Structure 1
Amino acid sequence: MAWRGHLSRNLKELRILFCQSSLASATTREFVQRNYKDLKTLNPKFPILIRECSGVQPQLWVRFDNGVERGFHLEGLSETQIVKALEDLVKVGAALKA
């Protein structure tokens, strides 16, 4: 999981959006609770923005260089699938820098 330490190298910003109470956002809430501390420890100055809003569908957004953004809808995904989606986005960021 070395990619976790490369967030700040390959991305400019990470945003996670979810509802505080909906079942659709339950897995995303668990992902944040289990992974935020580790991600922030490995990338202390990297902006990880957690946005809770009633009724919003769970989403993961990243911003790359030059303002390019990509997002994933997280509804129905397991925590493992969310981790994989974030890992894939970090790899995209690395490829864009090459």
Structure 2
Amino acid sequence: MAGIRALGAGLKELRIHMCQKSPSSQGARDFMESFYVPLKQRNPELPILVRECSEIEPRLWARYGYGAETSVPLSNMNKESIMQKINEFASGPRMR
């Protein structure tokens, strides 16, 4: 699949928070169905955690070395945009 690549050693963990039913989490659910398996196959050592909870804002978290974290909301994003955000996170932390 286009856009699926090895993410590198700088990224220590990805977390995806999403709701099982809300329309704003539809892109995150679509991402999980389409991209999770190929992404995990390309990055077998990278923990990719999925947290489902009712009525939460979908969000993508990236953890780097020394506890540095960054996140971005995923509300109403499509699966390709989410994959693009993951690729951006792979290039290093962007602290806010």
Tell me which residue corresponds to 2:6. Answer: 5
Cα separation, partners in 2 of 1:59 and 1:24, compared to 1, 3 Å: same
TM-score by length of 2: 0.87
Point out 4+ residue stretches in structure 1 off by more than 6 angstroms: none
* 1:65-80 to 2 correspondences below 5 Å: 65-80=65-80
CA contact (8 A) 1:16 1:49 kept: yes
Structure 2 residues without counterparts, runs of 5 or longer: none
Structure that is richer in helix per residue: 1
Identity %: 36
Deviation digits for residues 3-55 of structure 1 (CA, Å, limit 9, x no counterpart): 72124x12110000000011010111001111110111111121100000011
> Which SS does the other structure have where 1:60 is aligned?
strand
* TM-score (norm: length of structure 1): 0.85
Note the residue ranges of structure 1 that are not aligned, 5 or more in a row: 94-98
* Paired amino acid for 2:7: H
* 1:32 counterpart SS class: helix
- Give the structure 2 partner of residue 96 of structure 1: none
In structure 2, do the counterparts of structure 1 residues 65 and 59 end up closer, same or farther at CA, with 3 Å as the change threshold?
same
**Distance of 2:38 and 2:10 partners within structure 1:** 17
Change in CA separation of 1:74 and 1:2 when aligned onto 2, cut-off 3 Å: closer
The answer to whether 1:49 aligns with 2:27 is no
